[in-house]
A and B are shown apart, each in its own frame.
Chain A
């Protein structure tokens, strides 16, 4: 074979044995449309990259973390103090979690705004919303694992909110907590969920999500579809992928800087008998819900305020899930300004309530 690069030779060797050539042909055909909103296409891959980082750093953390109430805090302290680069692995895991949920929200909202959920991509959307729920569950369960004061009380408050649901509330609370109170049993349970149940489920759903995206190709916004002029595109391999890599590398550098300058904190060990410190706050991605519940009056329409809030958010989530079904106009290929405004309202609500949550006086 004249002038064949090493890579090409290796590729031929692999293809003869595994048949990857077929996949490679499909991959070569994959095109990415170029239009005003092409930038948003990067967000899904970015979220996946950050999830991959979580898997790797999480796996490394498993080598030193001990999931029991008596040892969890100390094992994390040991990891930060004595283990070489322990501070780095833990800080990256902590920052990447936040970054991943941020890009996930961006991905969700951009898809919502450009209405990429139109059939036949509705199943992709459904799997995506479930993935959002899984990511939030990841955040909630992972937060408890260092067994420090803030995490202990945040978990208490969070699981207590689950308990307000009628009929199933108390049962749900006990199942989540592994008992009546937050204890070592809760820690073990959350560990199992965070380290085994959620990763398996997420990988399966991400697999489905990605396969569906490959099958249907990238969605083109309605405006771009009806625009005049030639439809431009670029091949995914290598052009779009190289650009993806630039973004991923930039994210990696940002993570390293955050880890070096603002390493993950540990705080004090959880003490179930101590009183809750003032100004308990959940992680930022739960803040808008937490703040809303705090601000609701004690009773609304005869139902307890907190329950009303939980049900309202539940309905909101259900609405979000069913958007492809509810948005008939988009499905028919028509413009659907109502749903655009609903999306804008949701985004504004989340941003405003998050800001309020961080600026309001905790003793108010």
Chain B
């Protein structure tokens, strides 16, 4: 067989070698580009089932108000009570799954669908809901609010 290193390179071979080299280079780039981008950590940070860092700051939630946030695939309710305490619960009503809200006038969590009431410990106090709302831990780390499951 012809030894590619011994005979003089023809223009055709030169072109072929160039083509080979360039396409190998292209392939290398096409493989290394995604791999490198992959290794750079995304801005969203870590994602975990047990804790979620909320996209709002402690100052964003006023006394005696509530806000819905995303916890994994479910909805959560963050409340700052009249005693300036932060509490968080699952926002899915235990009756038929509607999203509950905080009622500042009642100081209770309320479900609009069938008038279910939960107290500020998540316990179902009136109406159809058969079970309490799952409660979460709330921690403030500097400028962040971190909500986690109670283990």
Complex: A in contact with B (CB within 8 Å): yes
Chain A: residues with CB nearer than 8 A to chain B?
3, 5, 7-8, 56, 60, 63, 66, 70-71, 73-75, 77-78, 82-86, 88-89, 234-235, 238-239, 249, 269
Partner of B4, one of A60, A73, A83, A238: A238
Smallest CB–CB gap between B136 and chain A, Å? 15
**How far in angstroms is the closest Cβ of chain A from B3?**
10
Determine whether the beta carbon of B46 is less than 8 Å from that of A70: no
Return the contact of A85 from the options B4, B37, B47 (Cβ within 8 A). Answer: B37
In the bound complex, do residue B49 and residue A60 qualify as a contact, i.e. CB atoms below 8 Å apart? no
The interface residues of chain A lying within 8 Å CB-to-CB of B1 are 234-235, 239
A73 touches B38 (CB 8 A): no
A121 to chain B, nearest CB (A): 27
Residues in B with CB closer than 8 Å to A83 are 38, 41-42
Residues in B lying within 8 Å of A, measured CB to CB:
1, 4-5, 8, 27, 34-35, 37-42, 44, 46-50, 72
Residues of A within 8 Å of B40, CB to CB, are 84
Question: Given A82-B47, A235-B1, A239-B1: A74 and B38 within 8 A (CB)?
Answer: no
- Which secondary structure dominates where chain B touches chain A? loop
21 CB contacts below 8 A, A to B, read A8-B5, A56-B35, A60-B39, A70-B49, A71-B48, A71-B49, A73-B49, A74-B48, A78-B47, A82-B47, A84-B38, A84-B40, A85-B37, A85-B38, A86-B38, A89-B35, A234-B1, A238-B4, A239-B1, A249-B27, A269-B49
Whole-angstrom distance between the Cβ of A87 and the nearest chain B Cβ: 10
Q: Does A70 lie within 8 Å of B47, measured CB to CB?
A: no
Q: Contact at A60–B5, with CB atoms within 8 Å?
A: no
Within 8 Å CB of A77, what residues of B? 47
* Beta-carbon nearest neighbor of A71 in chain B: B48
Given the complex, which residues of A lie within 8 Å of B37, measured CB to CB?
84-85
**Knowing A234-B1, A239-B1 touch, does A78 contact B46 (C-beta < 8 A)?**
yes
Instruction: Give Cα distance in the complex from A317 to B41, angstroms.
Output: 45
Q: How far is it, in angstroms, between the C-alpha of A197 and the C-alpha of B50 when the chains are bound? A: 29
How far apart sit A60 and B1, CA to CA, in the bound complex (Å)?
41
A8 to B41, CA, bound (A): 41
Q: What's the minimum C-beta distance from B76 to chain A, rounded to whole angstroms?
A: 15
CB-based nearest A residue for B72: A74
Which B residues touch A88, using CB under 8 A?
34, 38
Q: How far is the CB of B68 from chain A (nearest CB, A)?
A: 20
B35 partner residues in chain A, CB cutoff 8 A: 56, 60, 85, 89
Given contacts A71-B49, A85-B38, A89-B34, 9 further A-B contacts (CB under 8 A): A3-B8, A5-B5, A60-B38, A66-B48, A71-B50, A74-B49, A84-B38, A84-B40, A239-B1
- Cross-interface CB contact of B34 among A73, A75, A85, A235, cutoff 8 Å: A85
- Docked complex Cα distance between A5 and B5 (Å): 8
Residue of B nearest to A63 (CB): B39
Q: B13 CB to closest chain A CB, in angstroms?
A: 12
User: B47–A74 contact, CB under 8 A?
Assistant: yes
A77 and B39 CA atoms in complex are apart in Å by: 16
CA distance A309 to B49 in the complex (A): 41
| Complex Cα–Cα for A77 and B4 (A) | 50
What residues of chain B lie closer than 8 Å to A73, measured between beta carbons?
Answer: 49
User: Considering only CB atoms, which chain A residue lies closest to B40 in the complex?
Assistant: A84
Bound-state CA distance A78–B42 (Å) is 10
Question: How far, in Å, is B131 (CB) from chain A's closest CB?
Answer: 16
Find chain B residues with CB under 8 A from A269 CB: 49
Residue of B41, B42, B44, B72 with most partner-chain A CB within 10 A: B42
Residues from chain A with a CB closer than 8 A to the CB of B38 are 60, 63, 83-86, 88-89
